Amino acid sequence: MKTITILLFFIISLLANESKEIDLSKANWEYRYGDSPFENSIPLWTIEKENQNLWEKIEFPRNPPNRNNQTNVWFRVKLPDVLPNDSYLYIVSTDLINQVYYEGKEIYHFGEFDKDGKGEFKGWPFHLISLANDSAGKYLYFRIYSNYTDIGFWGEILISSKIDIFEKLLKNDLPNIIVGSISIFVSILFLLTFLSKIKRLELLILGLLFLTQGLNVFFSSKIIEIYFYFPLFKQYILAIAYFFFPLGMAFFMDKSINYEVPFNLIKRVWQVHFIYLFCAILGTILGLFNLPSTYEYFDIFYNFITLPILTIFMIYFFIIGDKETKIITFSFFIISIYWLYSTLIAAGLVPWEEYPSDVAVFICLLLLSHSMVLKLTYTKELEEAKEELTILSSTDYLTKLNNRKEIDSLLKLNEEIYINCKDDFSVILLDVDDFKMVNDTFGHLVGDDVLINISNILSKFTRKTDSVGRWGGEEFIIICPKTNLEEASKLAENLRDKISKYIFDKVGNKTASFGVVSYKEDDTLTELLSRVDDAMYLAKSKGKNRVETM
């Protein structure tokens, strides 16, 4: 008997809980394009008895048919005959501003209507409207203005008590708040790491990605509006986060995935989105256009150009890439599906629901963080190995530069890095012009002094990441990690200029001839050294004191 009593109580509780919430979106809605005339601040459409046939039925109060550039529409709905105690109407969002009337009196408004029935965009907050105790079974009227592609309501339209609505918001938004907060915290860690000695662009863009997406998830939580009600400011934050996502994704792919892309398409994608982000936000701040209009053009470009391009490359890089590349592309693919799904919901192509945005962002966050930790760990191990090699290796007795043995080891190390990570590296080989004449004229001690001074110039005007060595006699070699042929040529030209302008004791001016090459796919160190040697002798044959590449 006790068990049956408990079961009955449980069933009654369930029924009571079900009756607390009324889905008003399933009610019989009607619409009417245009704007009502007013008399003594009362819209006549809300009290008139005639012209009832002008109201047309609509399944959901959004984007009625045959809009024909109309910017004003009225919706009305008859409330249920029975309402919960302390009834409130909860609306997820409205495009763009609205007023709500009950028995001819305004009971709520968002935004301000001018004398022509128009107004300015003020954001997309949720709306909570208190219903009168005697409003059951009576009509509510909604006056709406929108010069946006959409007009009307978006998302849920519910009637419930205020406390139940807040409980629902908290339940739905708590995961978003947690994930958004974690994302912002992780973004700060990445940005601080970037500002430290590890100056990697991937860390900067990853930090900004986590920051913008964290803010997006955090401020998309409706419960936040109760304590932070600045809907237009919030919408600017959400717009920046929305527009930044493809920019950040393409930039990260461009800098972290070292494969050639036809026409530099990925680079072009993030450049275009950077320009769009800057112009869209600046244009709305200056009042050149309103913020909602920037979404229209962004969605067209992103969904029909950017997303297909990046998806194709993501699949391609996932197939041919190493473990790190697969993690990066897979994580972006997950969050791209989430963004595509949210776009379909916004466009009304799939039914609205509280989709788990926090889950998608959190998975992407974990995968990208894992890939970045692997990269930083690998970089740290690489630096430690390089430092250990430097300590153990001997140096050239005269110039104190790396000797031939050390250079051979560093060349092999850079070759392995290229094979594993596809990081470019280049080699510069230089020979002092007419050095034999120095020894013959001034003696070997003066010749040694020239070599020491040249080695000092090379050490001073190369980068910390470059490795300078004595290749033999009056020949010097420079290994340039993460450097392509064009960058290495500029470095060689600068060194050539510094040497030619230096005044050596007793000797005066001296010059050097430079050869520059970069490691290629399916290259070998033997072929690399042969090419750089040929490039240097080509510089000699063309008159010396010059830089040649191959």
Question: Which CATH number does the domain housing residue 410 bear?
Answer: 3.30.70.270
pTM summary value: 0.62
Residue with tokens 């709306």: 127
Measured CA to CA, the distance from residue 379 to residue 196 in angstroms comes to 15
Q: Is residue 463 within 8 Å of residue 469, measured between CB atoms?
A: no
Residues 225 and 142 in one domain: no
CB contact set of 388 (below 8 Å; sequence gap of 6+):
none
The pLDDT of residue 1: 46
Q: Is residue 224 part of a domain?
A: yes
Phi/psi for 3 (5° steps) reads -65, -40
Residues 491 and 451 in one domain: yes
- Strand duo 547-549 + 467-472: pairing: unpaired
Residues 372 and 485 in one domain: no
Residues 427 and 499 in one domain: yes
Report the SS3 class of residue 221: coil
Residues 457 and 497 in one domain: yes
Measured CA to CA, the distance from residue 41 to residue 155 in angstroms comes to 30
Q: Is residue 278 part of a domain?
A: yes
Residues 128 and 199 in one domain: no
Phi/psi for 63 (5° steps) reads 45, 65
Q: Is residue 158 within 8 Å of residue 90, measured between CB atoms?
A: yes
Residue with tokens 């890089």: 317
Could you report the per-residue pLDDT of 496-543, keeping only the tens digit for each?
999 999 999 999 999 999 999 999 988 899 999 999 999 999 999 999
Q: Is residue 192 part of a domain?
A: yes
Q: Which residues of the chain have pLDDT under 70?
A: 1-19, 197-199, 339, 345-348, 350-362, 365, 369-394
Domain count along the chain: 3
Residues 210 and 140 in one domain: no
DSSP 331-385: HHHHHHHHHHHHHHHHTTSS------HHHHHHHHHHHHHHHHHHHHHHHHHHHHH
The pLDDT of residue 375: 64
Q: Is residue 322 part of a domain?
A: yes
Residues 258 and 133 in one domain: no
Residues 504 and 398 in one domain: yes
CA-wise closest residue to 178 among 428, 340, 390, 359: 359
Measured CA to CA, the distance from residue 500 to residue 503 in angstroms comes to 8
Residues 216 and 332 in one domain: yes
Catalytic residues: 474
The pLDDT of residue 48: 86
Q: Is residue 198 within 8 Å of residue 166, measured between CB atoms?
A: no
Could you report the per-residue pLDDT of 291-345, keeping only the tens digit for each?
999 988 898 888 888 888 888 888 888 888 777 778 777 877 777 777 677 777 6
Measured CA to CA, the distance from residue 364 to residue 331 in angstroms comes to 5
Residues 371 and 402 in one domain: no
The pLDDT of residue 351: 67
Measured CA to CA, the distance from residue 391 to residue 200 in angstroms comes to 26
Q: Is residue 508 part of a domain?
A: yes
Overall size of the chain counted in residues:
550
Q: Is residue 480 within 8 Å of residue 428, measured between CB atoms?
A: yes
Which of 349, 378, 407 marks a domain boundary? 378
Which of 345, 378, 411 marks a domain boundary? 378
Distance between terminal CA atoms of the chain?
Answer: 94
Query: 300 is written with which tokens?
Result: 């067209």
Number of C-beta neighbours around residue 481 at 10 A: 19
Domain that holds residue 295: 178-378
Which of 103, 130, 150 marks a domain boundary? 150
Q: Is residue 455 part of a domain?
A: yes
Q: Is residue 468 part of a domain?
A: yes
What is the separation of C-alpha 21 from the centre of its chain, rounded to a whole number of angstroms?
38
CB contact set of 102 (below 8 Å; sequence gap of 6+):
131, 132, 135, 138, 139, 140, 141
Residues 122 and 257 in one domain: no
Q: Is residue 163 part of a domain?
A: no
Measured CA to CA, the distance from residue 426 to residue 439 in angstroms comes to 31
CATH classification of the domain holding 104: 2.60.120.260
The pLDDT of residue 310: 85
